[in-house]
């Protein structure tokens, strides 16, 4: 479950890599150091009318994965995670915990939350992925750090059996592993995340809440603010020990039988707006038995990964939210739902900073 929780936290790699499969004519990319362009998508223009439901992404279905049931309509009582934050001077900010994947029901969530967003002065997100998708040079600069520049190959860092398993999965979803042989383990860890998402679920990053909010802001001429940056996230995701990446790759591949059901359960829980249940999920209260499968060294790697990917980033997000409040403009602050939760989350951190934080049901 820890690996699934990471989908709530890290956007950039999944966003960039799934773009490869959306534009197959540009799949044959090379490392940025070879002056190769990354895949691009058309410039933001139109958003489908609310009454239209986008066609589901055509991704290969794993043989052992049962066909998903028909998608139910969004419940009238559903109210995904939002809070109203008021500082001592009466300035207001709206906190919204997003999820970076989704299905057509996120369109209904967008319709509801846009009734708040449209009255705000700006939308703040982890970073503007729509602008990023258009900035090829920026993407190439971000990706360059993942290239193995010493003449080595990914097979020099990954055990043969694990490489074969990873390669088979990437081939199944159309991400040709030979094109990525000169990228490091950090990249391959994210490649496997993307492939798992495409192979074992019908959820899609293009229907993720962040993407929909950003597109809506563009359509309505609402300024989009970066809470972090693509460079910050890319540097962070490439900052861990190789042993951690090997552990994450293996644990992802080992979760194939339950991956789709687990991620769908997380998404359904997010849609329901059940804060206490969602908090419990993110706290890892069901992971004690799973932890027994790891050595002390591996547990230390996982703890460091979660701390840097979540707790430390929360402090920076808190500071940015307080800056927005001090400026006196009403900002719709939308970041991954995991950043809201528990003692180290934004809800508690902003309360501790003297703000009034109230659940906001819309």
pLDDT reported for residue 48: 42
Determine phi and psi for 146, rounding to 5 degrees.
-90, -5
Integer Cα distance of 10 and 102 in angstroms: 15
Integer Cα distance of 171 and 195 in angstroms: 9
* Pairs from 265-272 (Cβ < 8 Å, separation ≥ 24): 266/4, 266/5, 266/8, 266/99, 267/99, 267/101, 267/102, 267/103, 267/203, 270/80, 270/81, 270/97, 270/99, 270/337, 271/74, 271/75, 271/78, 271/80, 271/105, 271/109, 272/75, 272/78, 272/80
Integer Cα distance of 63 and 200 in angstroms: 9
Chunked into runs of 10 residues, the chain (362 residues) has average pLDDT values of: 50 49 40 41 41 38 41 57 96 95 92 94 95 88 91 96 95 82 93 91 90 96 95 93 95 92 90 87 61 82 91 96 97 94 93 96 76
Give the residue among 321, 7, 15 at the shortest CA–CA distance from 139.
15
Integer Cα distance of 315 and 313 in angstroms: 5
Tell me which H or E stretch contains 93. strand 92-98
Classify 231 as helix, strand or coil: helix
Classify 1 as helix, strand or coil: coil
**Maximum separation of any 2 CA atoms in the chain, in Å:** 60
% helix / strand / coil in the chain, to the nearest 5? 55, 10, 35
pLDDT reported for residue 76: 57
pLDDT reported for residue 170: 92
pLDDT reported for residue 278: 86
pLDDT reported for residue 342: 85
Torsion, CA 214, CA 217, CA 221, CA 223, rounded to 10: -70
Tell me which H or E stretch contains 187. helix 185-200
Tell me which H or E stretch contains 270. helix 256-272
Q: Answer whether 187's CB lies under 8 Å from 146's CB.
A: yes
Integer Cα distance of 48 and 228 in angstroms: 28
């Amino acid at each position: 479950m820890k690996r699934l929780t990471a989908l709530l936290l890290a956007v950039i790699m999944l966003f960039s890599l799934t773009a490869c499969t959306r534009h197959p004519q540009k799949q044959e990319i090379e490392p940025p150091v070879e002056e190769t362009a990354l895949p691009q998508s058309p410039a933001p223009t139109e958003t489908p009318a609310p009454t239209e439901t986008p066609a589901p992404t055509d991704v290969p279905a794993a043989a052992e994965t049962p066909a998903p049931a028909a998608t139910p309509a969004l419940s009238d009582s559903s109210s995904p995670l939002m809070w109203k934050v008021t500082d001592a001077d009466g300035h207001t900010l709206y906190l919204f915990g997003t999820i970076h994947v989704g299905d057509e029901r996120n369109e209904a969530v967008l319709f509801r939350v846009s009734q708040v967003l449209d009255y705000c002065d700006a939308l703040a997100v982890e970073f503007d992925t729509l602008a990023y998708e258009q900035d090829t040079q920026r993407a190439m600069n971000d990706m360059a750090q993942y290239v193995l520049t010493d003449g080595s190959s990914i097979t020099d860092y990954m055990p043969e059996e694990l490489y074969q398993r990873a390669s088979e999965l990437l081939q199944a979803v159309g991400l040709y592993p030979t094109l990525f042989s000169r990228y490091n383990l950090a990249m391959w860890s994210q490649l496997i995340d993307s492939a798992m998402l495409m192979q074992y679920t019908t959820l899609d990053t293009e229907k993720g809440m962040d993407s929909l909010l950003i597109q809506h802001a563009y359509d309505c001429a609402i300024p989009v603010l970066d809470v972090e940056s693509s460079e910050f996230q890319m540097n962070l995701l490439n900052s861990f020990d190789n042993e951690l990446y090997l552990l994450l790759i293996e644990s992802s591949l080992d979760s194939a039988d339950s991956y789709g059901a687990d991620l769908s359960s997380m998404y359904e829980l997010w849609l329901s707006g059940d804060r206490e249940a969602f908090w419990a999920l993110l706290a890892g209260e069901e992971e004690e038995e799973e932890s027994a499968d790891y050595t002390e060294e591996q547990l230390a790697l996982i703890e460091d990964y979660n701390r840097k990917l979540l707790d430390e980033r929360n402090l920076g997000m808190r500071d940015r939210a307080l800056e927005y409040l001090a400026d006196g403009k009403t900002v719709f602050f939308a970041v991954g739902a995991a950043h809201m939760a528990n003692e180290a989350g934004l809800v508690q951190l902003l309360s501790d900073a003297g703000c009034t934080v109230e659940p906001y049901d819309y």
